[in-house]
Amino acid sequence: MRRERREDTRTWAPADDGVVIVDKPQGSTSHDVVAKMRYLARTRKVGHAGTLDPMATGVLVVGIGKATRLLTYIVGATKEYAATIRLGESTLTDDAEGERTGTGAVAAVTRDDVEREVRALTGEILQVPTAVSAIKVDGLRSYARVRAGEDVALAARPVTVSRFEVLDLRPAQTLDGAAVLDVDVVVECSSGTYVRALARDLGAALGVGGHLTALRRTRVGAFTLDSTEASTLEGFQAEAEDEGQVRVIPIATAAAGVLPVRPLTDTEATDLAFGRAVEASGVPGPHAAILGEGPTRRLVAIVEDARRHGTVAARPLTVFVDR
């Protein structure tokens, strides 16, 4: 018997333009989270700043409305992770979702050995990304080539691992009884760093193989998992149902969390709204051009100093206010 589809009669107001910090659940894709937030925010204009693998949990910064224009600048922010690396076992994907590709004896591995190789993977390093990744090779995703049976060799790229700290070592066993060593770590790194690749390279350096068994992103720039604004998807739904709207971090507050602030006068705000340049900020890189202070402040534009016709001025890269 065919079951009739029940219409969702729950109603609440569309969310304001802004950012939410979602604690992504394990097993969900970042796209799944965006789809759910479109429903909760009552708008299709939703995006995220930096993909998390389905296995991973934690901070996924989601932009709503005009805040989607800010995501480009949030993506490049530094990240922090809590992770568990399993030494003694390698996998195709460098994490627990891939098939085992090799094993190694861990009985002789000491904490000193682990910390020595962790130090070698800290700082400015060249990292070969995980082959099972979304990086494109001749127009096709690397993971698609690997799953089609190809051997993919990605080029090393510079990344910065500002913190790679060993918290604990725990002897463990695989499902078939093989001895392995689980290493709990904290990683702070630049955008584009693969924690899976750190697990792989740590295992390789120790000669025993390694992969990632758990990954939780705890911070993206100024957006942290322990902030009062962070919540699960279920929490945001309950908020919408109870309070009549999903609560967001205002665009100006979000921008000030990832970019230096360039205060504006009323005249400068008008100029930027019309695409005109204003006085140079004096510091390289993008700035959040903000009018006012406190809860009523507004993000007018993202600006960056540039020389044109012999004059250096702060020119708008993205404008957030209507003319």
Which tens digits make up the pLDDT trace of 246-270?
999 999 999 999 999 999 999 999 9
| pLDDT of 151 above 80 | no
Does some domain include residue 138?
yes
Active site residues per annotation: 53
Count of CB atoms situated within 10 Å of the CB of 216: 18
pTM, whole model, 2 decimals? 0.90
Domain co-membership, 194 together with 179: yes
Mean pLDDT of the chain: 91
CA angle 245, 250, 252 (to 5 degrees): 165
In the DSSP assignment, the letter for residue 321 is S
pLDDT score at 102? 93
> Which residues in 95-156 belong to E strands, given as ranges?
100-103, 123-127, 136-137, 140-141
Strand 210-220 with 79-87, pairing? antiparallel
> Which residues in 88-205 belong to E strands, given as ranges?
89-91, 100-103, 123-127, 136-137, 140-141, 157-173, 179-189
User: What CATH number is given to the structural domain containing 243?
Assistant: 3.30.2350.10
pLDDT score at 144? 62
Q: Of the candidates 79, 72, 71, which has an alpha carbon nearest to the alpha carbon of residue 19?
A: 71
C-alpha–C-alpha distance, residues 314 and 298, integer Å:
18
| pLDDT of 138 above 60 | no
Residue that terminates a domain, selected from 220, 240, 274: 220
Domain co-membership, 83 together with 204: yes
User: What CATH number is given to the structural domain containing 287?
Assistant: 2.30.130.10
How many structural domains comprise the chain?
A: 3
Domain co-membership, 216 together with 132: yes
Rg for the chain, CA atoms, rounded: 23
pLDDT per residue as tens digits for the range 17-26: 999 999 999 9
Domain extent at residue 196: 79-220
pLDDT score at 230? 95
